[in-house]
Chains A and B, each alone.
Chain A
Amino acid sequence: EAGVTQSPTHLIKTRGQQATLRCSPISGHTSVYWYQQALGLGLQFLLWYDEGEERNRGNFPPRFSGRQFPNYSSELNVNALELEDSALYLCASSLEPTNQPQHFGDGTRLSIL
């Protein structure tokens, strides 16, 4: 069974640009979660999607947004990139919202120059 896959592995952008990160959940999983892992700050919850709807978002500005497609894959968009957005962005999926556990991909390393 294929795990959670994320693309690209690395992404380099400059301040003010936009970044799009993609995630394919484990087959059969309907819930997708996004987390930011910044150096020294641990993992912070960003967004949760289930059945195509945004169910919850963390304490991040509106320039962080995303969507979930009918095939349950998801993308995270970050607009007006700032230096502090440099981090590892992790996607996780679960079988259904109330059925933990969450399984993580290996992330997209976003570097802002």
Chain B
Amino acid sequence: QQQVKQSPQSLIVQKGGISIINCAYENTAFDYFPWYQQFPGKGPALLIAIRPDVSEKKEGRFTISFNKSAKQFSLHIMDSQPGDSATYFCAASGFGNEKLTFGTGTRLTIIP
């Protein structure tokens, strides 16, 4: 029940396209859903996060869509750029259980 399932495992998108990464969770006690971006040799960097009281959050080219009834959330990267090539992790945590449970990651490659 603590799992967060992430797909796809890898993704290749053309420059200027939309990158979409999906995650699903089972634990209804989760109330915080961040996305992290990780470059080789670096730690994960917080990209954007959402709580269940909203269905969408946008920051620049990055948008989280959240579907509480389906227990799914996704990251959309608009106008994808080569600099966006990295591994992306979704995660979830719940009040009183502040550890982050991570998805298995998506390696995103943006090609010219």
Query: Which residues of A are interface residues toward B (Cβ below 8 A)?
Result: 4, 31, 33, 35, 41-45, 48, 55-56, 58, 90, 92, 94, 97-98, 100-107
Contact = CB atoms under 8 A, between A and B. Distances in A.
Max chain A C-beta neighbours (<10 A), residue from B43, B46, B95, B101 = B43
A4 B46 CA distance: 13
B97 interface: yes
Contacts of A105: 43
Interface of A is mostly: strand
A31 B100 CA distance: 13
B41 A106 contact: yes
A101 B98 contact: no
Nearest to A58: B99
11 contacts: A41-B104, A42-B89, A42-B104, A42-B105, A43-B91, A90-B44, A101-B49, A102-B46, A104-B43, A104-B45, A107-B43
Given A100-B93, A102-B46, A43 B99 contact: no
A84 B42 CA distance: 21
B102 interface: yes
A43 B98 contact: no
Nearest to A91: B43
B98 A56 contact: yes
Nearest to B34: A101
Interface of B: 32, 34, 36, 41-46, 49, 89, 91, 93, 95, 97-105
A108 B110 CA distance: 28
B68 to A, nearest CB: 18
Interface of B is mostly: strand
B99 A48 contact: yes
B103 A42 contact: yes
Nearest to B102: A43
A91 to B, nearest CB: 8
Contacts of B41: 106
Given A100-B49, A101-B49, A56 B44 contact: no
B93 A43 contact: no
Contacts of A42: 89, 102-105
